[in-house]
Amino acid sequence: MQAFTKLTGLVAVMDRSDVDTDQIIPKQFLKRIERSGYEDFLFFDWRYHEDGSENADFELNQPAVQGASILVARRNFGCGSSREHAVWALENYGFRVVIAPSFGDIFYNSSFKNGMLPIRLDDELVQRLFDNFAEHPGYRLTVDLESRTISDEFGLSVSFQVDDFRRHCLLNGLDDIALTLQHEHRITAYEAAHAQAS
């Protein structure tokens, strides 16, 4: 898993509440077992018309947000069914941070396990980010996981909360497998002792 320490990136906004995982990655794209290659399917039903042409009105299709790595959304982002593919699609597309007032629980947990940082901010602060985005074309934020702060070049500086264990894992790029392998010598010793006792 790619470590996350500090990111300064272009912001994209999604002025929608209750964005569910079925919209983030529609069910027809869940047959693949790889963790990569989902970027073209992200928000597929919103990004494209039925004939396959691009929907110019969709937020992420706007030229000004191409290459964005920080997504700001409204309440309950990532709700709905439990599909890790939703996080994979966002991360494959280039997002490393999603900021919203609240998240679906499973999506929130999966984000940390896949190297993406979900940040909860209250509605007023999220609205301030939307306002700054509208006021400043090419709006960028700096997200610092070490100091747990979000800032911009226009005077914004706010702190955010993140669990210490999840923060440690992200800072060090540790997914569940990497965490287990930190104890590889103890596992090997146990298995050797178990084999001798059998």
Q: Is the pLDDT assigned to residue 177 strictly greater than 60?
A: no
How far is Cα 141 from Cα 71, in angstroms, rounded to an integer? 10
Q: Answer whether 0.95 is exceeded by the pTM.
A: no
> Are 110 and 79 a contacting pair, CB within 8 Å?
no
pLDDT tens track for 34-74: 889 999 999 999 999 999 999 999 999 999 999 999 999 99
Nearest to 118 by CA among 127, 107, 128: 107
pLDDT tens track for 131-148: 999 999 999 999 999 999
Q: Is the dihedral of CA 103, 106, 107, 109 positive or negative?
A: positive
| Per-domain residue ranges of the chain | 6-197
How far is Cα 174 from Cα 158, in angstroms, rounded to an integer? 26
Q: Name the CATH topology of 6-197.
A: Aconitase; domain 4 (3.20.19)
Distances (CA, A) of 62 to 23, 76, 99, 110: 18, 23, 19, 28
How far is Cα 126 from Cα 130, in angstroms, rounded to an integer? 6
